[in-house]
Amino acid sequence: MAGSVFGQVFKMATWGESHGKGIGVVVDGCPAGLALDEEKIQSYLDRRKPGQTKYSTPRKEDDAVEILSGIFDGRTTGTPISMVVYNKTQRSKDYSEIAGYYRPGHADYTFDMKYGFRDYRGGGRSSGRETIGRVAAGAIAEEVLKELGIEVCAYSKSICGITIDKSYTGNCLYEGLEILRNNMMKSPLYMPDPVASQKAEELLSQRMHEKDSAGGIIECIVSGIPAGIGEPVFEKLDANIAKAVMSIGAVKGVEIGKGFEVAYSSGSANNDNFCVSNNASIVKKTNSAGGILGGISDSSNIVIRAAVKPTPSIAKLQHTISKDGNDINVEINGRHDPVIVPRAVVVVEAMIAVTVLDLLMMSMFSRLDLMKKFFSL
Amino acid sequence: MAGSVFGQVFKMATWGESHGKGIGVVVDGCPAGLALDEEKIQSYLDRRKPGQTKYSTPRKEDDAVEILSGIFDGRTTGTPISMVVYNKTQRSKDYSEIAGYYRPGHADYTFDMKYGFRDYRGGGRSSGRETIGRVAAGAIAEEVLKELGIEVCAYSKSICGITIDKSYTGNCLYEGLEILRNNMMKSPLYMPDPVASQKAEELLSQRMHEKDSAGGIIECIVSGIPAGIGEPVFEKLDANIAKAVMSIGAVKGVEIGKGFEVAYSSGSANNDNFCVSNNASIVKKTNSAGGILGGISDSSNIVIRAAVKPTPSIAKLQHTISKDGNDINVEINGRHDPVIVPRAVVVVEAMIAVTVLDLLMMSMFSRLDLMKKFFSL
Amino acid sequence: MAGSVFGQVFKMATWGESHGKGIGVVVDGCPAGLALDEEKIQSYLDRRKPGQTKYSTPRKEDDAVEILSGIFDGRTTGTPISMVVYNKTQRSKDYSEIAGYYRPGHADYTFDMKYGFRDYRGGGRSSGRETIGRVAAGAIAEEVLKELGIEVCAYSKSICGITIDKSYTGNCLYEGLEILRNNMMKSPLYMPDPVASQKAEELLSQRMHEKDSAGGIIECIVSGIPAGIGEPVFEKLDANIAKAVMSIGAVKGVEIGKGFEVAYSSGSANNDNFCVSNNASIVKKTNSAGGILGGISDSSNIVIRAAVKPTPSIAKLQHTISKDGNDINVEINGRHDPVIVPRAVVVVEAMIAVTVLDLLMMSMFSRLDLMKKFFSL
Amino acid sequence: MAGSVFGQVFKMATWGESHGKGIGVVVDGCPAGLALDEEKIQSYLDRRKPGQTKYSTPRKEDDAVEILSGIFDGRTTGTPISMVVYNKTQRSKDYSEIAGYYRPGHADYTFDMKYGFRDYRGGGRSSGRETIGRVAAGAIAEEVLKELGIEVCAYSKSICGITIDKSYTGNCLYEGLEILRNNMMKSPLYMPDPVASQKAEELLSQRMHEKDSAGGIIECIVSGIPAGIGEPVFEKLDANIAKAVMSIGAVKGVEIGKGFEVAYSSGSANNDNFCVSNNASIVKKTNSAGGILGGISDSSNIVIRAAVKPTPSIAKLQHTISKDGNDINVEINGRHDPVIVPRAVVVVEAMIAVTVLDLLMMSMFSRLDLMKKFFSL
């Protein structure tokens, strides 16, 4: 099956292996007329680039994006936008050893079972580098959303068990995300709470010293979304977001609004009451629902969280088996991130941006009266 | 957008409103040759039927399924299987009141925003009755999976904060699900732990007395799945399961394996080591991953959990607004479940069965050598 | 594979066999707010109903449609519209004989090869009755298109080698279709030219007397379509129409505008020159292109033709083989149409209406500036 | 809408403009284990390369393909195969003039109407260079099909009104295509009949002298296909082929088997009788159906024809209008093919190969018994 194509009408097709010639994405279905250049895309990619702090792999990767099609006179033309990041540091020999055994927590074994063999260089297609295509496509989606007054902002909520104080995320109801974004960008871990960030950094240093790794939680907020986005039953906005986020390598859980907390709540405590705002529009007093009711946006902020597992590649001694079935001990040395969370923040943001835009476009034909107005524009 | 069609090659299209003529589903893409009759489908539907215990709505609904197409001489023909459950107790007047205001925690407001108006009778398309179609389709998927040696079993893991003892779910690694299923079927709440079930029943009675409702957690295990199911990048098995499960009305979170726990774990603790089993096959010693590595099944049991919110319709006094913007107080009397979890158990099972079968079918063309063998069968 | 679902955002899922309980369709993705009732749908279905003239099978089929969902207070709600026509005259014994052999020109053999067995009653799923679902869905599409000022009209262009005079179809450039439609409805063969119709009727009577059948050509015109509908490269308007029309049972060829004639033309003769119309809009002087340039509508009328093969079921003696491989002679008596064309006219119209609407909806997000205007409506 | 992605499970996403940085395609869903390199792909691309004879544009285009991903140790890995042809001769100034007016027979006007503006350099995305991606993807599909014993061969059937003698295509029933292919490759016009080829060349020279262009017909045969490929109702094999072929720029008509001839035939003449072959398998005596019955392959050769319009860019004087609505005369000088047919032959072949493979893969789960055997392989 074709697993590298995503989206119903705003589509992306990603390609590339960690140690092949490059990583890329074709974005098909972007509306014509968006101002776009490589610099704009690059600013998103830089947020997932390694080697920027001591908490990420010291590999040097420029990850410079090149746009190959779909732009004319600085604007999107409505046709496919092909983007590529050529791989520069293909040190394949680093990885030749792992060809012979199955790394715990990795996809080595399942790829071999599925395809009969695998490209073992740096994880091949299951490498984290695969997310470059997602971020480049997400950058375009975010730029379109901005033009429609919609902001998306993800950040590290919890790392090594240290969670940011909720004062930093506001009430997540209807406010914009500028302050949040600014605070987030100040932290090397993309944690908008400086105290929590510092604590997490300390614990992370210790974890690195133990040759081990850490997990965490990424939160993402979508602000400014109109009510009515998402389709009943299967194509719910939250259902599509769940797929989009769970498709990211290390994510093992996704929740919306109160998420798993609802399991321990009561109807009276969990329901969000409606009221009329100062400017006479219908609003909610609280946001247990995380901005989505019945799978459809209710105009309050959408709040999503993703659980990210600890980096499976660790230098600590582990037991596993070789391809020929012998028990072996391994120490996976190399340039691995001690925590995936910070570099995955922009990936979560990208996947949510793509999904929201895709469903937003499809909501344009929900009502005959609006269609009639559109075609008389 | 067409939100009521699900699946890539094993597809279902559901239809129907709570108080329309009926609820139905068209299943397209079921392989030919499966023995199937209404009795088999009915046994699944009976698990979501209301009125069976005091913990579900006392509404009488027969929910008798009728198969309209796709079966010949007791076997599926490979063509669409249309199934319908006619609505018998359409007491529309019960609901006329709610036409005028927005119930907290419901999709009334978002439907109005999306479509300009809504079918307010019993929630219309956003009613829980919509899941009848899912369960009927899921029944077929489960029957196909059984033929291939794959079992799916969901159950209530937690209700009102009471969680089953993990001894009842075994180690969830490679064992079958028969005992688990039998234990589950003995509880009116579909909790396989009788002690927990009794405690939860007590707390639930109290919640009902308070005119309030409760949430909980549903867990589902897939056993006997071969390694290699699921596609890298976007069409991962867990990503598709996340969408499938999150698309169920009251679900606000989905997790795989250790789920959100991984955020607080370390690589060394979370990684599952590989070893060789007694019968010389490659197995995992633990199952943090929940049976999925890199989005592809690894042959150990798949473990999924869903967080289910408390029933939003409660008789307790709530504040909300009328359609014309006035603050009002409401007490939503009527025949509502005090907890959604037990009746949703089979819905979760159905959605996971459909998803697993869909991806299993698509895994059939991953390898050229196996394709060549297939076409010489 | 799921072959009974059609459309990208305006979707239909059809089901049902010739001699099962009924034939139906679920339409998903219809915009909310369209006035719709069974009478309207019925008027389309009546055009494909048999038994109306001596040139169609004398089988009595009421083909009365029932709407089961998706309508509230006389308007579509935006949720799936389920429609069913129950089979009334299931004379299965008529067909028991054909279970044992492969009818020439039919799908008996290919169904057996594909599925291992088949529902042989009246052709099962490959019966012409399958098109009931298409017409019911097409009726809805046409009603939506009418609201947007777009008309679709199909008619018999040629039967038994008799072709209508082109004066009856006008210049097919920018005019409406009312006269054409009126003329068409007067003919029992749906031929808008009364002279040609009469001649064709005579030849057809002779063909019936010879226990043989006839083929023909159906033409369809779409008028009032704005420029810009259809997507470059694979999702061209003409490509999607070709699939839609070729998916109808007996169709063996599809052409747009001049069609196969272009093979014998020159660039200077075939190109349509642009000019400015009296009302200052850009128009074409001719319409070789049939209203589509580069797969995108150019605002002139769209012109499509389909070649329909002669009814394969004939009472004339034929040679074929039995399922166990013996040479046999067969005379397929029964109630068969001597020509498929007239009853297929509304099927072609339906498939084109569905396709045009589907692509029209998707054209709504081609331009960022229009999207911005839409979301500020 | 995303119009540049094709296929259900064997997918391609193409990108690139005539005068951008390059043209490319991502093939997703190719089974693992196929031996593949650039040389193999190049041999297909060379068949559409211009400048090889005097009957194609004298533009020098190397069109050298580079594979960027999806291959490891000379075999496909099952992950996306990204291929690119960089544009070398981007003489943009050649085309600056056409920015100001609408060329007859081209997509200039419709692109402007759809997107608000267009990349006018060499036709941008609507250029014939777009087909490079199709051919590269088709090359992979053909290589997979060959492994399964299926051959695809397209050729020019008619150019300038000169049609090949049918002796050169055999009876098109069950024979292989080697001789046909060899004959075809000897002609500069890819016409397998040397006499017809020579006549067509002469007429074409004359047409060039008149500053005009010619159309023609391409025929394609698929041999060795097993019975059972294609899905009833909408996903018929012929319906998908029709879309695939009609999506090629200049194609205005598609037909299967006897095609439009059936309109003038009778049931008794058009039906193909079944019989038993020497090796005891069920075969057809004739092939009016073109290898497809009820949308499903019947194991005889599949025969498809496409009508290709004359090149719209001609040096002869034409009338049209400028973008600002003035009547103008134009002579489109430049390096244009006098006939599109020969270079489009391999494009038709590619699109049919991709479509057949896509549906062949999906036919793998038609039968439960075969699925069970597959999973016990």
Residues of chain C positioned with their CB less than 8 A from the CB of D265 = 215, 309-310
Contact B312 A259 (CB under 8 A): no
Quote the DSSP letter at residue A316.
Answer: S
pLDDT at D305: 98
Residues of chain C positioned with their CB less than 8 A from the CB of D107 = 232, 293-296
Of A249, A313, A362, the CB nearest to B1: A362
Alpha-carbon distances of B274 from A215, A330, B229, B258, B300, rounded to whole Å: 21, 12, 19, 17, 11
Of B5, B231, B365, the CB nearest to A234: B5
Residue B277, token pair as written in the block:
């089993």
Contact A2 D125 (CB under 8 A): no
User: What class is the C5-374 domain?
Assistant: alpha beta
Provide the terminal-to-terminal Cα distance of chain D, rounded to the nearest Å. 41
User: Within 13 Å, how many C-alpha atoms sit on residue C135's CB side?
Assistant: 28
Contact B15 C69 (CB under 8 A): yes
Alpha carbon distance A330, A319 (integer Å) = 6
Is the CB of residue A261 less than 8 Å from the CB of residue A246?
no
Contact C119 B72 (CB under 8 A): yes
Alpha carbon distance B307, A253 (integer Å) = 11
User: What is the mean pLDDT of the segment spanning C15-39?
Assistant: 96
Alpha carbon distance A50, A55 (integer Å) = 9
- Chains sharing 3 or more CB pairs under 8 A with chain D: A, B, C
Beta strand C318-321 with C327-330 is: antiparallel
Contact D367 B144 (CB under 8 A): no
Cβ pairs bridging B and D (under 8 Å):
80
Distance from CA of A362 to the nearest CA of C (A): 8
Name which of B1, B25, B82, B111 to mutate to probe chain C: the one with the most chain C Cβ atoms within 10 A of its Cβ. B82
Contact C367 A78 (CB under 8 A): yes
Q: What is the pTM of this model?
A: 0.97
pLDDT at C170: 78
3-state secondary structure of D202: helix
Quote the DSSP letter at residue C234.
Answer: T
Name which of B268, B277, B284 to mutate to probe chain A: the one with the most chain A Cβ atoms within 10 A of its Cβ. B268
Contact A233 B102 (CB under 8 A): no
Share of chain A above pLDDT 90, in %: 85
Enumerate the domain spans of chain A: 5-374
Contact B371 D377 (CB under 8 A): no
3-state secondary structure of A200: helix
pLDDT in tens, A82-109: 999 999 865 555 567 788 999 999 999 9
pLDDT at B90: 57
- Chains sharing 3 or more CB pairs under 8 A with chain B: A, C, D
pLDDT at C61: 63
Phi and psi angles of residue A239, each rounded to the nearest 5 degrees, phi first? -65, -45
Whether B97 has a pLDDT exceeding 80, the answer reads no
User: What is the mean pLDDT of the segment spanning A74-79?
Assistant: 97
Share of chain A above pLDDT 70, in %: 95
Going by pLDDT thresholds of 50, 70 and 90, the confidence category of residue B58 is: low
Closest CA to A210 of B272, B269, B275, B273: B269
Whether C275 has a pLDDT exceeding 60, the answer reads yes
Contact A13 D9 (CB under 8 A): no
Phi and psi angles of residue C307, each rounded to the nearest 5 degrees, phi first? -90, 125
Going by pLDDT thresholds of 50, 70 and 90, the confidence category of residue C50 is: confident
Whether C90 has a pLDDT exceeding 60, the answer reads no
Comparing A281-285, C33-37, D4-8, D93-97, the range with the smallest average pLDDT is: D93-97
Over the range C336-363, which residues count as b (16 or more CB within 10 Å of their CB) and which as e? bbbbbbbbbbbbbbbbbbbbbbbbbbbb
pLDDT at D49: 83
Distance from CA of A73 to the nearest CA of B (A): 32
Residues of chain C positioned with their CB less than 8 A from the CB of B84 = 68
Contact D80 A1 (CB under 8 A): no
Of D126, D215, D272, the CB nearest to C263: D215
Q: Which residues of A touch C (CB under 8 A)?
A: 8-9, 29, 31-34, 76, 78-79, 144, 147-149, 226, 232, 361-362, 364-375, 377
Contact C377 A367 (CB under 8 A): no
Going by pLDDT thresholds of 50, 70 and 90, the confidence category of residue B146 is: very high
Residues in a beta bridge with B255: A253, B305
Closest CA to B117 of A175, C76, D18: C76
Which residues, at least 6 apart from D287, have a Cβ–Cβ distance to it below 8 Å?
D171, D172, D173, D257, D272, D300, D301, D303
Residues of chain B positioned with their CB less than 8 A from the CB of D33 = 367-369
Residues of chain C positioned with their CB less than 8 A from the CB of B75 = 117
pLDDT in tens, C116-143: 999 998 888 999 999 999 999 999 999 9
Of A255, A327, A363, the CB nearest to B275: A327
Distance from CA of A9 to the nearest CA of D (A): 5
DSSP string, B102-120: --TTSSHHHHHHHHSS---
User: What is the mean pLDDT of the segment spanning B245-274?
Assistant: 98
Of A9, A149, A367, the CB nearest to C362: A9
Residue A234, token pair as written in the block:
């299967």
Distance from CA of C140 to the nearest CA of A (A): 12
Which residues, at least 6 apart from D239, have a Cβ–Cβ distance to it below 8 Å?
C243, C244, C246, C247, D295
Going by pLDDT thresholds of 50, 70 and 90, the confidence category of residue C279 is: confident
User: What is the mean pLDDT of the segment spanning B199-210?
Assistant: 96
Of B9, B82, B117, the CB nearest to C1: B9
Closest CA to B351 of B258, B216, B246, B197: B246
User: Within 13 Å, how many C-alpha atoms sit on residue C30's CB side?
Assistant: 34
DSSP string, D82-125: EEEEE-----GGGGGGGGGB--TTSSHHHHHHHHSS---GGGGG
Contact B33 C81 (CB under 8 A): no
Going by pLDDT thresholds of 50, 70 and 90, the confidence category of residue C334 is: confident
User: What is the mean pLDDT of the segment spanning C21-38?
Assistant: 97
Contact D260 C111 (CB under 8 A): no
Name which of B375, B376, B377 to mutate to probe chain D: the one with the most chain D Cβ atoms within 10 A of its Cβ. B375
pLDDT at B89: 66
Residues of chain D positioned with their CB less than 8 A from the CB of C280 = 325
Is the CB of residue D157 less than 8 Å from the CB of residue D129?
no
Closest CA to D374 of A348, C9, B149: B149
Name which of B365, B367, B369 to mutate to probe chain D: the one with the most chain D Cβ atoms within 10 A of its Cβ. B365
Residue of C nearest to D212 (CA): C267
Alpha carbon distance A24, A82 (integer Å) = 7
pLDDT at B59: 61
Beta strand B11-16 with B5-6 is: antiparallel
The residue written with tokens 């059972």 in the block is: D228
Whether C367 has a pLDDT exceeding 90, the answer reads yes
Residue of C nearest to B78 (CA): C115
pLDDT at D97: 76
Segments in chain D below pLDDT 50: none
Q: What share of chain A is helix, strand, coil (3-state, %, to 5)?
A: 35, 25, 40
Whether B6 has a pLDDT exceeding 80, the answer reads yes
Distance from chain centroid for Cα D235: 19
Of D212, D233, D257, the CB nearest to C4: D233
Residue A218, token pair as written in the block:
């990424």
Over the range B194-222, which residues count as b (16 or more CB within 10 Å of their CB) and which as e? eebbebbbeebeebbeebbbbbbbbbbbb
Alpha carbon distance B117, B113 (integer Å) = 8
Alpha carbon distance C121, C117 (integer Å) = 12
Distance from CA of A75 to the nearest CA of C (A): 11
Alpha-carbon distances of A64 from A4, A83, B81, B373, rounded to whole Å: 22, 10, 51, 44
Going by pLDDT thresholds of 50, 70 and 90, the confidence category of residue B304 is: very high
